[in-house]
Chains A and B, each alone.
Chain A
Amino acid sequence: MNPPVPLGILEDKEEEHLATQVLGPSINSDNPQERIQARRLRIAARLEARRRNWLYGTELVTNIQVATDIREIHRRVEEEELKRQRLEKLENEVKTSQDKFDDITAKWEEGIHKKIPQELWELLNSQQVHCAGLIEDKNKLISELQQELKIKDDQYVKDLKKQSEDICVLLERMEEQVKTVMRTFRQELNHIEKAFEVERQELLSSNKKKWERALQAHNAKELEYLMNRLKKVEDYEKQLSKQRIWDFEEYNMIKIKLEQDVQILEQQLQQMKATYQLNQEKLEYNFQVLKKRDEESTMIKSQQKRKMNRLHDVLNNMRSKYAKQIKQFQEENQSLTSDYKRLVIQFKELQKAMRHFVIIDEEKFRDFWVMNEEEAKGLISRAFDVDRIIHTQHLGLPWTAPDFWFLKNVGPLFQQQQKSATQILEEVLMQTEEEGSEADQELESYLDLPKQVSASTTRKILMLLCDESGFLIESKLLSLLQPLEKSECYLLRLDAIFSALGVESEDDLYKLVNFFLKYRAQHLSSQEGEMMPALEPVPKGEEEEEKKEKEEEEEEEEDEESLEEEEAGSLVEEEAASTSPRLIHPNDVLKILEAFVKGLKKPRDARAPVKLQKATRDNSKDSDYWKALATVIPRSRQNLWDGLYAALEKYHLVLMRRAELLLECNTLEQQNTELQQLLQKYLGSKINSELQVPPTQVLPISTKSN
């Protein structure tokens, strides 16, 4: 512990320094700047002193701690030293005592071998002495250590005392420190307060002076203003009196004038009142009139209102009625539609039934027909048989069987049905495809075509048509046709073209083909001839031809062979012309089509009813047929038969008579034989013998008599 020596000196110096500092810029000097400066310096100096005080104070306080620390260090060092010594001592002690102990234990070993009691006693004694020495050593050591412990205890107590002293000192110093710090703070506060006070005083006095000066100036100015004001007041009073007089005069004048005005205005008022009265009466009258009108109008209004109400009622009634009726009609409509639906269904059923019946009827008809025909044919064959017998057996004439078409007919007579254009097309195309391989068959099977036109020709024409008039086909269809085969493609395209052109039936198709051929012929004959006039007669001719063709077709069935021959002939003709379609220029196709379409319009209109009639069966030929059947045997032959019949009857009669006679003859013979038998019998009987005379004796006599 060594308190800082320079502390006191420093503090002294500080005091001195403070004293000199105060002498620097004086607080009492007149210059306020200087005063402020001086005060600031003083404050700074005080702050510095305080800080230094504080610092030294803390040092003073901490000095105790430092001193304790160093003491502790010293103590520790000493302690360590002591500890070391003690340990050494203990170790030495342990060593020596161990040696001694070893000696003693060694002697015990010796003692075992001792036999003489005296020696043993001596040994035991010496051992006892040794042990006592050892124990004494140990005890000494223990007492030493205990002594040390006691010393330590004392030391502890001393240390405690010392510590309490230290703490006391510490507290004292701390208190002192606190006091000094407080004191300095208080001083500082006092100084600051004083300085403030002084400054305040100065400020107050200076402000007061300023204030007084300002007040004086203010008073002087106030006085001046007062004087000015008095003067002005006098002036204004004078002016006021003048003004008053002038105003009075003016007032009088204005008063007189205004009175006059008032009189005039009163007069005007009277007039106005009169007009007012008048107007009032007028207005009253008008008012009355208007009131009346108003009443009337209200009356009318009420009437109208009543009417309106009535009409409203009516309207409502009507509306309700209308709604009712709508409902009614709707219901009716519903019932009717349901009826209608029912009827339609019935009708459809009826139609179905009808169709059914038609078919059945047809079948029945056919059955009947066949039956009758069979019957007739049976009869006819019988008649023919009879005729043949008559001829061969009776007349001895050779007989030839008559041959008639109707004999071969079986079933009812039918008319050939017209095929549609597409069907024909299909056939044509199919056939022409097969043409190459089976040329012969084609000749036979292709019966429907008109004579002039061959299948190949038709096909070529159609191909041409198909190639040239692509514009008639819808673009959609074209795209659909892409993947199909060539023939199918042609077929469908042609179908589309025909539907566009209006070609429907077989005839139309042939007409078209013919048209082409004719055109070509015409074109060849008159190369520069005009189209239109030449074309016009063509369809008519066509039509006639067609009719003929129809008849021919019907007849075709009847006489196939002749037709075949004819066809063969026509085909031969056409083979020459078959090359001709090549000569039709593709460019002309359109012209031909145009002409054809124009020409086609007329016949089609005429045709419509004909088609309808064809629905019913033509039974005109039936009677002929049946008549023909009935008159299979001609009249001449019947006459022959009649004559023959008469002759045969006569012959029959003769034969009859002969037969009768023969029968008589037979009966007579029979009677004869019978009688002979009877006779025989009688003769041969016993009675005879019994009798005097037997019949047998008689009989031979009778027989001899016979």
Chain B
Amino acid sequence: SPAPGLPVMSMQETLTTASTSPQAAGQPPSSGSKFTKSFSATWKSRGPNKGPNVRLMRRIIAEDAEWSLAIVPLLTDLCIRHIVKNFRNNPILKQLLPEHQQKVLRQLPPDLPLAVTANLIDDENYWHRCCEQRWPVCHLDCHGGSWKRLFFERHLENLIKHFIPDSTDPAVILDLLPLCRNYVRRIRVDQFLPPVQLRPPPHNGDQSDSGSEGETEEPSMDHYRLGELVAGLSQLEELDLVYGIKDCGMNFEWNLFLFTYRDCQSLAATIKACHTLKVFRLTRSKVDDNKARILIRSLLDHPALEKLDLSHNCIGDRGARAAAKLLSHSRLRVLNLANNQVRAPGAQSLAHALAHNTNLLSLNLRLNCIEDEGGQALAHALQTNKCLTTLHLGGNELSEPTATLLSQVLSVNTTLTKINLSCNHIGPDGGKQLLEGMSDNKTLLEFDLRLSDVAQESEYLIGQALCANREEARQRALNPSHFSAPLTAKGPENPVG
């Protein structure tokens, strides 16, 4: 091909005129890359024999025989290296050009003090390295897809988890506050250490078998107070707390799992002051009626709260009544009271609130004991409610009367998509009635009736109806023109399967 050869030829000519060495002329270069290689080769070979053009040679030839132009680092590289080296004392980043910033960030060590990096570096890759260095497993999805957020949230959670009241300096956490205030949106703490009680170990051991003794020392059992921290976090949206201890093993004591009255009050004040809070979870913390009422009262008319989870506590009917009041005084969308001690009166008050509620999307009353009385009240409420989509009533000692009312609801309601009635005593007759109700429903997508004494046949038929509904919903969601052909083909396929 003569086209690429032309410039090469001219180059070669200049070379031949410049030097008398026959080697360069002797090599006929076919391509540009080869030519550069030969070029450097000629330089190296020409090192010792200084030709007539001394001045030309002197520019290139170094004293070091190993030296070559490729080895010399650029000034910018040197600068960047220096910046990286002294980043701890003199962080220069924003003043650099974008490409150089990238280079610096790539070379920064992940163990720089947070005070330097927190508000300066936004680069995700850097924080990714930081996270990977500290934790082997990182769930990025749980932290809004931001490595920086993940780092700060987990860092903060770690500090809180290992905070021992009265012995750890509170400044450890509060010092971090100005650094992380803009990045932390969620605090998820599944352990709060109590104040150290090991000082009188024999004394403690004696009284270990009497649970009531611990309560006398209640003032000393207060946990870390979140108030100051939460007030400082301007972006906080989610609080997920468990007042308990993990991995206690055989050192189990009832004392360790104590959510004290004072803890409760400080927490209530904290969540009341936090206007950005959207999700509040307080699980497995032995929250009783009074504490639940204190907490819920502080949440009344909260401007942002959408999700409240008080599952795995010991909330009774009064707590449920407070929650019902909260339903009508907030914009709550999800309420979880699973595994509590809510009975029929509590369920009735909840149902009363639910009847005219327009915000709540999901209600979970799993593992309570609302029984038929409460179940019927809820079913009545669902006849007027136009908002609720998910209802979990698993393990509530429900039986046939509730099923009959629910079947009526199913034929009327068009918003419910998920119902869970597992672990109840609905019985075969109740199952049949539910099947009747299902035959008129086109919106329900999930209906869990496992272990509820329903006849297998009716359960299967309900499953078929759900399949049809699901198919319809999928069809509605997708663009129908694309999949019209296969869907029609699948129509006869379903009954066969």
Residues of B within 8 A of A69 (CB): 366-367, 394-395, 422-423, 451
Q: Say yes or no: B451 contacts A44, CB within 8 Å.
A: no
- B134: Cβ under 8 A from any A Cβ: no
Residues of B within 8 A of A17 (CB): 493, 496-497
Residues of A within 8 A of B460 (CB): 6
Q: Which of B415-461 contact A (CB under 8 A)?
A: 422-423, 448, 450-451, 460
The residue that B423 contacts in the complex, of A2, A10, A41, A70, with Cβ under 8 A, is A70
Q: Whole-angstrom distance between the alpha carbons of A141 and B229 in the complex?
A: 52
- B97: Cβ under 8 A from any A Cβ: no
- B3: Cβ under 8 A from any A Cβ: no
For the residues of B in contact with A, the DSSP-based class is loop
Closest to B422 in A: A66
- A184: Cβ under 8 A from any B Cβ: no
* Known pairs A2-B451, A44-B489, A66-B451; A73 contacts B395 (CB<8 A): yes
Q: Say yes or no: A67 contacts B451, CB within 8 Å.
A: yes
Q: Whole-angstrom distance between the alpha carbons of A431 and B460 in the complex?
A: 144
- B48: Cβ under 8 A from any A Cβ: no
Q: Say yes or no: A66 contacts B497, CB within 8 Å.
A: no
The residue that A72 contacts in the complex, of B395, B397, B448, B486, with Cβ under 8 A, is B395
The residue that B490 contacts in the complex, of A6, A48, A73, with Cβ under 8 A, is A48
Residues of B within 8 A of A44 (CB): 483, 486-487, 489-490
| Chain A positions 35 through 76: 1 when the CB is less than 8 Å from some CB of chain B, otherwise 0 | 001001101110010000000000000110011011011000
- A14: Cβ under 8 A from any B Cβ: yes
How many residues of chain B get a CB closer than 8 Å to chain A's CBs? 20
Q: Say yes or no: A66 contacts B450, CB within 8 Å.
A: yes
Residues of B within 8 A of A2 (CB): 451
Closest to B451 in A: A70
Residues of A within 8 A of B395 (CB): 69-70, 72-73
| Min C-beta distance of A32 to chain B, whole Å | 15
| Min C-beta distance of A584 to chain B, whole Å | 111
The residue in A17, A43, A70 that gathers the most chain B C-beta atoms within 10 A of its C-beta is A70
Q: Which of B381-420 contact A (CB under 8 A)?
A: 394-395, 397
- B477: Cβ under 8 A from any A Cβ: no
Residues of B within 8 A of A43 (CB): 486
Q: Whole-angstrom distance between the alpha carbons of A72 and B423 in the complex?
A: 10
| Min C-beta distance of A174 to chain B, whole Å | 15
- B78: Cβ under 8 A from any A Cβ: no
| Min C-beta distance of A177 to chain B, whole Å | 17
Q: Whole-angstrom distance between the alpha carbons of A14 and B497 in the complex?
A: 7
- B71: Cβ under 8 A from any A Cβ: no
| Min C-beta distance of A69 to chain B, whole Å | 5
- B11: Cβ under 8 A from any A Cβ: no
Q: Say yes or no: B486 contacts A40, CB within 8 Å.
A: yes
Q: Whole-angstrom distance between the alpha carbons of A70 and B421 in the complex?
A: 12
| Chain A positions 6 through 43: 1 when the CB is less than 8 Å from some CB of chain B, otherwise 0 | 10001001100100000000000000000001001101
Q: Whole-angstrom distance between the alpha carbons of A40 and B493 in the complex?
A: 15
Q: Whole-angstrom distance between the alpha carbons of A72 and B394 in the complex?
A: 12
Q: Whole-angstrom distance between the alpha carbons of A63 and B450 in the complex?
A: 8
Residues of B within 8 A of A70 (CB): 395, 422-423, 451
- B485: Cβ under 8 A from any A Cβ: yes
Q: Say yes or no: A66 contacts B490, CB within 8 Å.
A: no
Residues of B within 8 A of A14 (CB): 497
Closest to B459 in A: A4
| Min C-beta distance of A56 to chain B, whole Å | 11
Q: Which of B479-497 contact A (CB under 8 A)?
A: 483, 485-487, 489-490, 493, 496-497
Q: Whole-angstrom distance between the alpha carbons of A2 and B449 in the complex?
A: 13
Q: Say yes or no: B497 contacts A73, CB within 8 Å.
A: no
| Min C-beta distance of A647 to chain B, whole Å | 161
Q: Whole-angstrom distance between the alpha carbons of A73 and B367 in the complex?
A: 7
| Min C-beta distance of A78 to chain B, whole Å | 14
| Min C-beta distance of B428 to chain A, whole Å | 16
Q: Say yes or no: B367 contacts A41, CB within 8 Å.
A: no
Q: Whole-angstrom distance between the alpha carbons of A43 and B422 in the complex?
A: 34
Residues of A within 8 A of B487 (CB): 44
Q: Say yes or no: B489 contacts A41, CB within 8 Å.
A: yes
Top-10 shortest CB links A-B: A44-B486, A70-B423, A69-B395, A69-B423, A66-B422, A66-B450, A73-B395, A70-B451, A40-B486, A66-B451
Ordered by A's residue number, 17 sampled pairs between the chains whose C-beta atoms are within 8 Å are: A2-B451, A14-B497, A37-B485, A44-B483, A44-B489, A45-B490, A48-B493, A66-B394, A69-B366, A69-B422, A69-B423, A69-B451, A70-B451, A72-B367, A73-B367, A73-B397, A73-B423
What is A's interface to B at a CB cutoff of 8 Å? 2, 6, 10, 13-14, 17, 37, 40-41, 43-45, 48, 62-63, 66-67, 69-70, 72-73
8 new A-B contacts, CB < 8 A, other than A40-B486, A43-B486, A66-B450, are A14-B497, A41-B486, A48-B493, A63-B450, A66-B422, A66-B448, A69-B422, A73-B397
